[in-house]
Structure 1
Amino acid sequence: MSAAARWAVVVVVLAVAGAVALWPRSPEPAPREAIPTRTRPTVDLDAARGRAALPPCPQNAPGPPPLRGLTATCLGDGRPVDVASAVTGPAVVNFWATWCVPCQEELKVLDAYAREPGAVPVVPVLVESEEADGLELLAKLGVRLPSVADPADGVRKAVRVPRTLPVSYVVGADGSLTQVTDPVVFTSVEQVRGVVG
């Protein structure tokens, strides 16, 4: 390449760089205003507890080994409760959520069972739901079982509960946990009796 050609290339490169440097730019965008987030109004949990009228959670000892040392919130009084001591066997533990429609029907069946003479304790464990929503739903359903809320999902992870809900377990007198698979969802008191034995 001749010297003149090289100089021509340099001139073209400098001309392009100058044009890019002088090209008008759009002004800096204005900072975006924060998008307001919808916040849920503060719920008076004491009032919600009053409407639900749940009994306090049982405190026995020592309970199923996988649940020992796990703390949940007793929906009846809002206090922390050792989950293992709340479900000393024989008992039925039921995992449910407010968005789960089959859970609602099953809770009513479990509540009816628990009111029968000789029934073993039934302890529902609320997961994937706010305490206030759980209390409101239990009040609406007329379910008065001692219940706990597991907002951190620690109880469900310890038991290795499947993601599908509802799920029930029978707690044996020896502290063993046996998942109820037949039926998957209780639809009658007789079914609960048959599983509990």
Structure 2
Amino acid sequence: MSAPARWAVVVLVLAVAGVVALWPRSSDPVDHAIPTRTQRTVDLDAVRGQAALRPCPQGPSDARGPEPLRGLIVDCLADGKPVDVASTVTGRAVVNFWATWCVPCQEELRVLDTYAQEPGAVPVIAVLVESKEADGLELLAKLGVRLPSVVDPADGVRKAARAPRTLPLSYVVGADGSLTQVTDPVAFTSVEQVREVVG
């Protein structure tokens, strides 16, 4: 390469470098981070209104409920207020554990809701586990189930009852506060089955 050609290349490189250096740039920093999924914001009050759950029952002040459940504070899904779960089942009752991902739980919730509205039915309390509060409310609204319900994100109620982690899962609370797991049927599919188990 001749000397004039080399000088032409040097001049060209310097010209390009000068143009790049003087090129106007945005004053805003460019965010090259990978975009993340934004979390869905839910108006819990609006979802509660749609679900229109019956309020969590409260037993008499001198009734204490099942001993293993005493002192366990959970949130009532109907209003979001904390409640001692033992105070919701101070006499004969049914406690049903469910999760939004549990398909058999959905039919069982409908059956229990129908049963709970019958004259002479014992109270039924539903305990939402392994699920988000908003998701539980939305599913109950979709199913048309109005059962009094609590949400237990720490799974303290199942642990206190020494319950297996399988779902669906129901317990009958005796008049003496005893907890008896329902094993037959594993999931209620008819109101008649609930009546038979409750007695």
TM-score range, shorter chain: 0.7 to 0.9
Cα distance in 1 for residues equivalent to 2:181 and 2:33? 47
Cα distance in 1 for residues equivalent to 2:51 and 2:75? 15
Does structure 1 residue 40 correspond to structure 2 residue 39? yes
Task: Classify the secondary structure of the residue corresponding to 1:37.
Answer: coil
User: How many aligned positions are there?
Assistant: 165
Amino acid at match of 2:99: A
Aligned to 1:24: none
Task: Classify the secondary structure of the residue corresponding to 2:176.
Answer: coil
Distance change >3 Å, CA 80–CA 195, structure 1 → 2? same
Map residues 70-109 of structure 1 onto 2, 5 A cutoff.
70-109=72-111
Aligned to 1:53: 52
Aligned to 1:127: 129
Amino acid at match of 1:40: Q
Aligned to 1:19: none
Distance change >3 Å, CA 35–CA 63, structure 1 → 2? farther
Structure 2, unaligned runs of 5 or more: 1-31
Cα distance in 2 for residues equivalent to 1:149 and 1:194? 27
Q: Tell me which of 188, 191, 197 is aligned to 2:190.
A: 188
1:156 to partner: Cα distance: 1.2
Residue deviations 1:97-141 (CA, integer Å, cap 9, x gap): 000000000000000100111000000000000000000000011
1:35 to partner: Cα distance: 4.5
Structure 1, unaligned runs of 5 or more: 1-32
Cα distance in 2 for residues equivalent to 1:119 and 1:51? 25
1:89 to partner: Cα distance: 2.1
Q: Tell me which of 167, 170, 178 is aligned to 1:168.
A: 170
Cα distance in 2 for residues equivalent to 1:181 and 1:156? 16
Task: Classify the secondary structure of the residue corresponding to 1:123.
Answer: strand
1:88 to partner: Cα distance: 1.6
1:39 to partner: Cα distance: 3.4
Cα distance in 2 for residues equivalent to 1:124 and 1:152? 15
Task: Classify the secondary structure of the residue corresponding to 1:58.
Answer: coil
1:37 to partner: Cα distance: 3.5
Identity score, percent: 83
Task: Classify the secondary structure of the residue corresponding to 2:45.
Answer: helix
CA RMSD of aligned residues (A): 1.1
Cα distance in 1 for residues equivalent to 2:86 and 2:64? 6
Task: Classify the secondary structure of the residue corresponding to 1:40.
Answer: coil
1:161 to partner: Cα distance: 1.8
Task: Classify the secondary structure of the residue corresponding to 2:78.
Answer: coil
Residue deviations 1:132-151 (CA, integer Å, cap 9, x gap): 00000000111011100001
Map residues 2-41 of structure 1 onto 2, 5 A cutoff.
35-41=34-40
